[in-house]
């Protein structure tokens, strides 16, 4: 399979796509250069689980924007369907969907991004692509049709990525409520005897805490 036609993977540059959306035509990833963006697909408009997801994404949209992060949805529905559905959400749930939704009527975008997972099916799975300001794909999540996404986890991932980049650290499980280190962040394992001795001195000064030379953590 040619490199440019395979399903995108973590670490790849997000493929260049011109997409039709509820906000007009958009060029990806150019539209969000210098920002993080989250592209998330859903099986179809006017479905209960998808409606709860869009409502939840919108409720956190301001928080995403404060993290320099934009949202863009996607399904194989047409633009008029997106517009009518978001109108329904506004009228019935009193929440206006402010981010664009890709109308992938011919399925080309879904095919390029690997969003059709069942043979003979045309509906996109619930997928999430987290893309950084340099247009690199940092995370990909997939969910089945019957399970809605946890938006707080997606917010946590953005915060974790940004903290990791800023401080050169790793993020523990369930951060910032990890069962071992609490809200601390993890230092990369020492890679030399010199660095191990440096960590020992840092621990003596109270700058870091270590269970062993390969497992050190510190306050963020």
Task: Quote the number of domains for the chain.
Answer: 2
Q: What are the backbone angles phi and psi of residue 147, rounded to the nearest 5°?
A: -120, 115
Residues 162, 76 share a domain: yes
Instruction: Tell me, yes or no, whether 173 and 153 share the same domain.
Output: no
Phi-psi region of 34 (alpha: psi -120 to 50; beta: other; left: phi over 0): left
- Both structure tokens of 134: 């340099």
For residues 194 and 143, membership in a common domain is answered with no
Query: What's the CATH number where 195 sits?
Result: 3.30.1020.10
Domain hosting 177: range is 168-220
Token match 């399903």: residue? 7
**Residue range 113-161, pLDDT digits in tens:** 999 887 656 678 899 999 999 999 999 999 988 999 999 999 999 999 9
Catalytic residue IDs: 50
Tokens of 149: 């996404």
Q: Are residues 156 and 189 in the same domain?
A: no
Whole-number average pLDDT of the chain? 94
Contact 148, 51 (CB under 8 A): no
Q: Quick one: 174 and 91 in the same domain?
A: no
For the chain, the three-class secondary structure string (H helix, E strand, C coil) is CCHHHCCCCCCCECCCEEEEEECEEEEECHHHCCCEEEEEECCCCCCHHHHHHHHHHHHCHHHHHHCCEEEEEEECCCHHHHHHHHHHHHHHHCCCCCCCEEECCCCHHHHHHCCCCCCCCCCCCEEEEEECCCCEEEEEEEECCCCCCCHHHHHHHHHHHHHHHHHCCECCCCCCCECCCECCEECCCCCCHHHHHHHHHHHHCCCCEEEECCEEEECC
115 closest CA partner among 56, 62, 73, 173:
73
**50-59 tens-digit pLDDT:** 999 999 999 9
pTM: 0.93
Pair 80, 187 in one domain: no
The answer on pLDDT for 6 being more than 90 is no
């Amino acid at each position: 399979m040619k490199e440019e036609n395979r399903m995108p993977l973590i670490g790849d540059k997000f493929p260049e796509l011109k997409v039709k959306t509820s906000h007009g035509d958009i060029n990806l990833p150019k539209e969000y250069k210098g920002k993080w963006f989250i592209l998330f697909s859903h099986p179809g408009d006017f479905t209960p689980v998808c409606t709860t997801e869009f409502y939840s994404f919108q409720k956190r949209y301001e928080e995403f924007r404060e993290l320099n992060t934009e949202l863009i949805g996607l399904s194989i529905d047409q633009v008029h369907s997106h517009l009518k559905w978001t109108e329904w959400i506004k009228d019935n749930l009193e929440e206006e969907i402010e981010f664009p939704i890709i109308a992938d009527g011919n399925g080309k975008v879904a095919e390029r991004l690997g969003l059709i997972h069942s043979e003979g099916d045309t509906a996109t799975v619930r997928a999430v692509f987290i893309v950084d300001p340099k247009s690199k794909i940092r995370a990909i999540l997939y969910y089945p049709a019957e399970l809605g996404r946890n938006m707080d986890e997606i917010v946590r991932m953005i915060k974790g990525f940004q903290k990791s980049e800023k401080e050169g650290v790793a993020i523990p499980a369930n951060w910032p409520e990890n069962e071992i280190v609490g809200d601390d962040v993890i230092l990369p394992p020492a890679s030399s005897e010199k660095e191990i001795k440096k960590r020992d001195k840092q621990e003596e000064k109270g700058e870091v805490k270590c269970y062993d030379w390969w497992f050190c953590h510190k306050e963020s």
